[in-house]
Chains A and B, each alone.
Chain A
Amino acid sequence: MSVATDAPLPQPDLLAAIPRLRRYARVLTGDVNRADDLVQDTLARAWEKRRLWTAGTDLRAWLFTIMHNVFVNQRALARRDQMHVSLDDGEGGEAWQIPVHAGQYTRVELTELVTHVGRLPVDQREVLVLAAVEELKYEEIAQVLEIPLGTVMSRLSRARAKLRLAFADGPVATPLKVVK
């Protein structure tokens, strides 16, 4: 019989957080494999710092903060490729593949929208996704990204202005129009 002698599971439930970390990492890197590398590094940091997490506070925001820092540090180390996200072809495209599903929008529309999001500069992209998809409070986003609230708002405005422009007369802009 083997009884594990390790410490019990960490206070923060890191396992349960993995899907959201992977999604956010994919938004940041635009690449499935690099995203999982980033998640792995983030989990390692989170484990080291697990005693610093205050139980009861939003674990997501705490982990996104760690991931943001890991990402920024790695990007500083790897300036040469600028973490440029190639979303149209090659490896990177895989990150943005939209699964088939039966929602309000067609797969083509969603792919188009997500591709546009992928083309936003990473600092606008992360604010947009944290607000629109993760539905974090703006104050939380400011903490995660360690930027002033005003900067959150201006990046969000710019990101959304670009999307609106891209879909000024595109399909996602008018999903409910009935054509007879």
Chain B
Amino acid sequence: MNPLPVTDADLNAYADGQLATSRVAAVEEALAHDPALADSVAAVRRHNAALRDALDPWLEEQIPERLIAAAAGPAHAAQPGARRWVMSALAAAATLLLGLSIGWYARDVDLERDGTPTTFTRQAALTHALYAGDVNRPVEVWAPEEKRLVTWLSKRLGFPVNAPDLNGTGFALVGGRLVAGHENPTALFMYENADKQRLSLQVRKQRVEGGEVAFRYAIENGVGVFYWIEDNCSYALSGNLDRGQLLSVGRVVYGQLAALDAAHGK
């Protein structure tokens, strides 16, 4: 049998692991007899590996919120194709129209008081869905390095944060990460129970005049979110749990933070 001559396409396919099995023997024989061909296959494989090495870390980068919103559809997204300056202009115009001088956070909180879904809970739910759904890499720093995690997040947020201990509710700390917020970065702590259900607690600074918002509950795209604002910090606890379960975990979180504040003499 006279096999077809080995082509460049064969070599590429062989190096990429895509060669039809019927051609493999012919290519391997050619490689065995021609060191130059073998070199070129080896170079392709090295370049593939190096390119993946180089570009894979991009996958770990923090995702801008406008893209998270765009993935959830037009109800959540800015106008398709709208660019940052357009959005800022719209934001400025809307702020003027609403006669608000304290910015978008306050506007969100006001809307929330009217019972409208807010960007805050929506983002908390979307962020939760994004990272809780990532089986292998839900967090950037894992629980065994909790101390480093807390130090890092406190530094980035500009105030001390802690990962509450939820072991009593069956949820163990998985770890945490920094995520984008509107104006301020947000700390995210991820927890998981024996059934592999995940919860996330998100904390960020929140400039609100008038201070506090009691426990609120919302369902966003199937994710339950409990949130509250206290001491200029907003907290959002998100998970695919029912309201009662989520609320009981929320109370534990709230209680621990209050105890911590008391200990610090607030």
Residues of A within 8 A of B (CB): 1-4, 6-10, 13-20, 22-23, 26-27, 36-37, 39-41, 43-45, 47, 98-99, 101, 103-105, 109-111, 113-114, 117, 128-129, 131-133, 135, 137-138, 153, 156-157, 160, 163-164, 167, 172-173, 175
Q: How far is the CA of A39 from the CA of B77 in the complex (A)?
A: 12
Q: How far is the CA of A45 from the CA of B233 in the complex (A)?
A: 36
Question: Please, what's the 1-or-0 string for B41-60, where 1 marks a CB less than 8 Å from any CB in chain A?
Answer: 00110111111111111111
Q: How far is the CA of A44 from the CA of B149 in the complex (A)?
A: 35
Nearest A residue to B44 via CB reads: A160
Nearest A residue to B219 via CB reads: A3
Which single member of B43, B44, B55 contacts A23 (CB below 8 Å)?
A: B55
List, sorted by A's number, 29 A–B pairs whose CB atoms are closer than 8 Å: A1-B115, A2-B112, A3-B219, A4-B122, A4-B221, A7-B73, A9-B72, A15-B126, A15-B129, A16-B134, A18-B63, A18-B67, A18-B71, A19-B63, A23-B55, A23-B58, A23-B59, A39-B70, A40-B80, A41-B81, A43-B67, A43-B77, A47-B71, A47-B73, A132-B47, A132-B52, A138-B16, A153-B9, A172-B50
Q: Interface residue count for B (Cβ, 8 Å)?
A: 61
Instruction: Determine the chain B residues whose CB is within 8 A of the CB of A18 once the complex forms.
Output: 63, 67-68, 71, 130
In the complex, the answer to whether B217 meets A1 with C-beta atoms within 8 Å is: yes
Q: Smallest distance from the beta carbon of A45 to chain B beta carbons, Å?
A: 8
In the complex, the answer to whether B55 meets A47 with C-beta atoms within 8 Å is: no
Question: Please, what's the 1-or-0 string for B1-22, where 1 marks a CB less than 8 Å from any CB in chain A?
Answer: 0000000110011001010000
Q: How far is the CA of A16 from the CA of B132 in the complex (A)?
A: 11
Question: Please, what's the 1-or-0 string for B76-120, where 1 marks a CB less than 8 Å from any CB in chain A?
Answer: 111011010000000000000000000000000000100111100
Q: Smallest distance from the beta carbon of B4 to chain A beta carbons, Å?
A: 15
Decide if B188 is an interface residue (CB 8 Å cutoff). no
Interface of B is mostly: helix
Q: How far is the CA of A112 from the CA of B51 in the complex (A)?
A: 11
Instruction: Determine the chain B residues whose CB is within 8 A of the CB of A41 once the complex forms.
Output: 80-81
Q: How far is the CA of A45 from the CA of B81 in the complex (A)?
A: 10
Most central of B9, B54, B68 by chain A CB within 10 Å: B54
Nearest A residue to B71 via CB reads: A14
In the complex, the answer to whether B43 meets A36 with C-beta atoms within 8 Å is: no
Instruction: Determine the chain A residues whose CB is within 8 A of the CB of B168 once the complex forms.
Output: none
Which single member of A44, A132, A133, A164 contacts B80 (CB below 8 Å)?
A: A44
Instruction: Determine the chain B residues whose CB is within 8 A of the CB of A173 once the complex forms.
Output: 43, 46
In the complex, the answer to whether B67 meets A40 with C-beta atoms within 8 Å is: yes
In the complex, the answer to whether B48 meets A132 with C-beta atoms within 8 Å is: yes
In the complex, the answer to whether A114 meets B55 with C-beta atoms within 8 Å is: yes
Which single member of A39, A103, A135 contacts B67 (CB below 8 Å)?
A: A39
Decide if B40 is an interface residue (CB 8 Å cutoff). yes
Instruction: Determine the chain B residues whose CB is within 8 A of the CB of A105 once the complex forms.
Output: 50, 53-54
Nearest B residue to A171 via CB reads: B50
Most central of B66, B118, B121 by chain A CB within 10 Å: B66
Q: How far is the CA of A133 from the CA of B46 in the complex (A)?
A: 12
Q: How far is the CA of A137 from the CA of B42 in the complex (A)?
A: 20
Q: Smallest distance from the beta carbon of B59 to chain A beta carbons, Å?
A: 4
Instruction: Determine the chain A residues whose CB is within 8 A of the CB of B76 once the complex forms.
Output: 6
Which single member of A8, A16, A22, A129 contacts B130 (CB below 8 Å)?
A: A16
Q: How far is the CA of A132 from the CA of B53 in the complex (A)?
A: 11
Instruction: Determine the chain A residues whose CB is within 8 A of the CB of B230 once the complex forms.
Output: none
Nearest B residue to A26 via CB reads: B58
Which single member of A20, A99, A133 contacts B52 (CB below 8 Å)?
A: A133
Instruction: Determine the chain B residues whose CB is within 8 A of the CB of A3 once the complex forms.
Output: 218-219
Question: Please, what's the 1-or-0 string for B180-191, where 1 marks a CB less than 8 Å from any CB in chain A?
Answer: 000000000000
Instruction: Determine the chain A residues whose CB is within 8 A of the CB of B74 once the complex forms.
Output: 44, 47
Instruction: Determine the chain B residues whose CB is within 8 A of the CB of A175 once the complex forms.
Output: 46, 50
Which single member of A2, A15, A167 contacts B115 (CB below 8 Å)?
A: A2
In the complex, the answer to whether A133 meets B51 with C-beta atoms within 8 Å is: yes
Q: Smallest distance from the beta carbon of B16 to chain A beta carbons, Å?
A: 6
